[in-house]
Amino acid sequence: MQYPENIVRMIVWEVTRSCNLNCVHCRAASHLGPYPGELSTEKCLRLIDDITSVSQPVIILTGGEPLLRPDIFEIAAYGTRKGLRMVMATNGTLVDKAIVRKMIESGIRRVSISIDGKDAQSHDVFRGEAGAFDGAMRGIEAMKSVGMEFQINTTITTANLHQIKDIHDLALKIGAAAHHIFLLVPTGRGKDLAEQAITAADYEETLLWFYQESLTCEIQLKATCAPHYFRIMHQNKTKGAQPAKKAGWNSENGFVWKSSKRFLTGILSLASRRFFVAIFCMIESFLPPSAAAPGNR
């Protein structure tokens, strides 16, 4: 099937709000749940049918904690059979060798693990549960032993800004395929961290360091929730200079964020015009008639 040039290339799908951690920055304000109204397996598969009728994007299965959905590998396998590149974002604490084998069997191509501190003390405070760092490291070791490619994701606040280079070194040391940094968006539980958003000067310094690192780094680097990163790239690139590794989950043409229950949100990048358009789309079939206009949780 032929698709138009400017189509969705990536969908971040919150398949559940349930989570076994209590991360201080969580956009979804997730707890263990259960939460009523989440899509059934049948509706999830129908959604994949709808997606593939218009595009062939990368699908990032996330949450909450996606591994808390009993049907997660059925969903992943169906997407794989439909020709989609299926990947997963997890906190890593529920990952063991048996889980990794199921990931591989269902066609999941890469897994991201969130690491927000250089050690257990700092990471566990951020994630709201003792043992989160050690659990994530065990999950990473399981993926390495079975042969699943993984990347490290890091949300940056004033609490861990001074550790970002150490976290990056850790990502290199443990064999990650990529390191993606996320700048804090103060919504959900993250709204209580608004005072921990880094300053404009720190943004500039951090993103400039990250760009310069990308020119020689042996793994893929990508900045998210930081559109000004593209300005820094264009202002500082020298003729012919390119990142040593291109970002594996990145999309030139845009992405959509899909909630497990309520609405789609996203950002479409029209690269040829060099601007971004914010998109907020309700899917009426998944909403009660009285639902309010969509917005960030």
- What confidence score (pLDDT) does residue 275 get? 29
> By mean pLDDT, which of 27-36, 126-135, 149-158 is the weakest?
27-36
**Average confidence (pLDDT) over 269-281:** 30
Token representation of residue 75 = 């969903």
Give percent of the chain with pLDDT exceeding 70: 71
Interior CA angle at 12 toward 275 and 227, to 5°?
25
Q: Name the most confidently modeled range: 12-21, 240-249, 265-274.
A: 12-21
According to the model, what pLDDT value does residue 237 have? Answer: 80
- pLDDT by residue (tens digit) across 31-74? 666 778 889 999 999 999 999 998 999 999 998 899 999 999 99
Range with the lowest mean pLDDT among 82-86, 199-203, 236-240, 290-294? 290-294
Provide the pLDDT confidence category of residue 220 given band limits of 50, 70 and 90.
very high
| pLDDT over threshold 60, residue 139 | yes
User: Under 8 Å CB-to-CB from 59, ≥6 apart: which residues?
Assistant: 10, 11, 13, 48, 51, 79, 84, 85, 86, 87
Residues 102-129: tens digit of each pLDDT: 999 999 999 999 999 999 999 998 788 8
pLDDT of 188 above 90: no
pLDDT (0 to 100) of residue 1: 62
| Range name among 170-174, 186-190, 278-282 with the lowest pLDDT average | 278-282
Q: Tell me what the mean pLDDT of segment 161-167 comes to.
A: 96
Residue 260: what pLDDT?
Answer: 47
Q: Which amino acid is at 172?
A: L
pLDDT band of residue 191 (cuts 50, 70, 90) is low
pLDDT band of residue 291 (cuts 50, 70, 90) is very low
On the question of pLDDT at 178 being above 80, the answer is: yes
pLDDT at residue 261 above 90? no
The per-residue pLDDT for 290 is 35
Residue 113's pLDDT is 95
CA 142 to chain centre: 20
Which domains are delineated in the chain?
10-262 (3.20.20.70)
pLDDT band (50, 70, 90) for residue 248: low
- The pLDDT assigned to 272 comes to 30
Contact 16, 69 (CB under 8 A): yes
Could you write out the DSSP letters of every residue in 111-179?
A: EEEE--SSSHHHHHHHHTSTTHHHHHHHHHHHHHHHT--EEEEEEE-TTTGGGHHHHHHHHHHTT-SEE
pTM: 0.79
Q: How open is the CA angle 267-109-39, to the nearest 5 degrees?
A: 60
Give 68 or 237, the one with higher predicted confidence: 68
Query: Which residues are CB-neighbours of 207 under 8 A, at least 6 positions away?
Result: 223, 226, 228, 229, 232
Q: Which residues contact 1 (CB under 8 A, 6 or more apart)?
A: none
pLDDT score at 168: 98
Q: Please count the other Cβ atoms lying within 10 Å of the Cβ belonging to residue 197.
A: 17
